[in-house]
């Protein structure tokens, strides 16, 4: 044990976090994490509903029947620990050194879950008759294929017209210190496989062949020069990247009949995906080229515009840390992409992400407690009733 105050280690958020780390919930296993969470929620008046799909454990829990609905979302699964010998201690045995707790999932995202549960308990104790409803949506497959997790639960909720208004995801959004970054959206991802058709021939008789490499080269240059957009207040400019180009028959004296290329757009809310597809097609059609494009949309962009949720989250962070968070759309994917399309305002606020998915993953103990305070404050600002939410701690 290091410099941390022993009393902090017995805090409910820390003992819950330690319990969760001990459970080897490598995707899609849940290893009993969700039972622990549901027991805690049931004890404070939540209706808990297990929603397993295939080998994935999920649950939806709700306290209250009216709107608005404030939902906390996240995942109990963790990525594999990698080489155990590289860890300073057993990744599934929580260990405290100095002011930090180590273990797989400590930052991504079992500390977020522990902070949520404790915040919900404290909020409900103080506000048993809160406005609207509180909810929790948890999956054990965020780090994997993510097909039978949040996506399926959202489909089930939508089918029965159960609406979420605001969602806070406990993913590790922070970069240098807790609360410096709150994620409010993400870019869309649109991929294509291109086939350029030509006529195979002898390299010495190009007039008798049609070389698809030669046809594609100027187009490729042009695609890189296009300014797709300048981004906007919340998104960086749309980016176009070629990830592969393949052509050739393996002989030095033969030009090929076909070229295949793959490319990807990470695009902002300035575009709809079919608009981008159309623009690319126009560029191709201006060239004398025989081609096919096969598109694949892996995620539409989403953005939670400034409003009650972002205001509440920013204020909760500022009260706790002294500075307002940067609202960002950077980073990779999260299950927010499955929740936002149902018309839900989604933000991600969680611990520092510097060690996630790495050897010796860890989280600052103080950050877990501060995060719980922030989550509780968000509930107060949104559901405690106008007077209480606005008058407290001013
Ligand atoms: Zn995560």
pLDDT tens digits for range 160-192 = 999 999 999 999 999 999 999 999 998 898 999
Distance, CA 353 to ligand 1 centroid (Å)?
10
Residues paired with 186 in a beta bridge: 302
Q: DSSP secondary-structure letter at 68?
A: P
Distance, CA 224 to ligand 1 centroid (Å)?
33
Omega before 380 cis (within 30°)? no
Distance, CA 294 to ligand 1 centroid (Å)?
31
Encode pLDDT of 297-326 as tens digits. 988 888 999 999 999 999 999 999 999 999
Give percent above pLDDT 90 in the chain.
86
SS3 372: helix
Distance, CA 75 to ligand 1 centroid (Å)?
7
Handedness of CA 79, 85, 88, 94 (dihedral sign): positive
Distance, CA 257 to ligand 1 centroid (Å)?
45
**pLDDT confidence tier of residue 391, bands split at 50, 70 and 90:** very low
Distance, CA 149 to ligand 1 centroid (Å)?
13
**pLDDT confidence tier of residue 3, bands split at 50, 70 and 90:** low
Distance, in Å, from the CA atom of 175 to the CA atom of 159, rounded to the nearest integer, reads: 37
Encode pLDDT of 92-148 as tens digits. 999 999 899 999 999 999 999 999 999 999 999 999 999 999 999 999 999 888 889
CA 108 to chain centre: 11
pLDDT at 330: 79
DSSP H helical segments within the chain, as ranges?
6-9, 12-22, 33-42, 111-126, 150-159, 212-225, 273-285, 308-321, 336-339, 365-383, 386-391
Q: Is 264 exposed, middle or buried (0-12, 13-18, 19+ CB in 10 A)?
A: middle
Distance, in Å, from the CA atom of 225 to the CA atom of 144, rounded to the nearest integer, reads: 35
Distance, CA 181 to ligand 1 centroid (Å)?
15
**pLDDT confidence tier of residue 394, bands split at 50, 70 and 90:** very low
Residue 142 bears catalytic tag: yes
Q: Which of 122, 142, 171, 361 is catalytic?
A: 142
What pTM was computed for the model?
0.83
Q: Which strands form 258-267's sheet, in the order they lie side by side? A: 239-247, 258-267, 188-197, 290-299
Nearest-Å Rg of the Cα atoms of the chain is: 25
Distance, CA 309 to ligand 1 centroid (Å)?
21
Contact assessment for residue 334 and residue 346, using Cβ atoms and an 8 Å cutoff: no
Contact assessment for residue 352 and residue 364, using Cβ atoms and an 8 Å cutoff: yes
Residue 180 bears catalytic tag: no
Backbone φ and ψ of 31, nearest 5°: 55, 30
Q: Which of 77, 171, 210, 345 is catalytic?
A: 77
């Amino acid at each position: 044990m290091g410099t941390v105050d022993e009393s902090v280690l017995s805090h409910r958020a820390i003992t819950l976090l330690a319990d969760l780390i001990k459970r080897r919930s490598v995707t899609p296993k849940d290893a009993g994490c969700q039972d622990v969470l549901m027991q805690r929620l049931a004890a404070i008046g939540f209706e808990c509903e297990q929603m397993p799909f295939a080998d994935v454990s999920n649950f939806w829990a709700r306290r209250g029947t009216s709107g608005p609905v404030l939902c906390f979302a996240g995942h109990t699964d963790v990525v594999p620990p990698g080489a155990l010998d590289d860890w300073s201690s057993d990744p599934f045995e929580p260990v405290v050194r100095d002011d930090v707790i180590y273990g797989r999932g400590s930052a991504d995202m079992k500390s977020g879950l522990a902070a949520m549960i404790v915040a919900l308990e404290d909020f409900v104790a103080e506000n048993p008759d809160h406005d609207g409803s509180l909810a929790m949506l948890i999956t054990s497959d965020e780090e994997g294929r993510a097909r039978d997790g949040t996506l399926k639960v959202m489909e089930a909720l939508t089918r029965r017209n159960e609406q979420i208004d605001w969602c806070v995801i406990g993913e590790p959004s922070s970069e240098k210190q807790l609360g410096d970054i709150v994620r409010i959206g993400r870019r869309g991802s649109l991929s294509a496989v291109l086939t350029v058709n030509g006529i195979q021939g002898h390299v010495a008789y190009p007039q008798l062949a049609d070389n698809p490499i030669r046809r594609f080269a100027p187009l490729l240059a042009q695609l890189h020069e296009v300014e797709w957009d300048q981004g906007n207040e919340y998104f960086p400019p749309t980016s176009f990247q070629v990830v592969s180009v393949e052509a050739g028959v393996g002989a030095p004296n033969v030009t090929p009949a076909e070229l295949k290329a793959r490319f990807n757009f990470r695009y902002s809310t300035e575009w709809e995906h079919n608009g981008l597809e159309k623009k690319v097609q126009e560029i191709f059609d201006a060239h004398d080229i025989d081609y096919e494009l096969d598109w694949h949309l892996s995620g539409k962009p989403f953005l939670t515009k400034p409003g009650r949720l972002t205001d509440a989250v920013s204020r909760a962070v500022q009260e706790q840390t002294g500075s307002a968070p940067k609202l960002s759309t950077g980073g990779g994917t999260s299950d927010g992409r499955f929740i936002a399309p149902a018309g839900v305002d989604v933000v991600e606020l969680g611990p520092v992400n510097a060690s996630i998915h790495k050897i010796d993953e860890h989280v600052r103990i103080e950050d877990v407690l501060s995060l719980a305070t922030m989550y509780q404050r968000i509930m107060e600002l949104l559901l405690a009733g106008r007077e209480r939410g606005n008058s407290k701690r001013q």
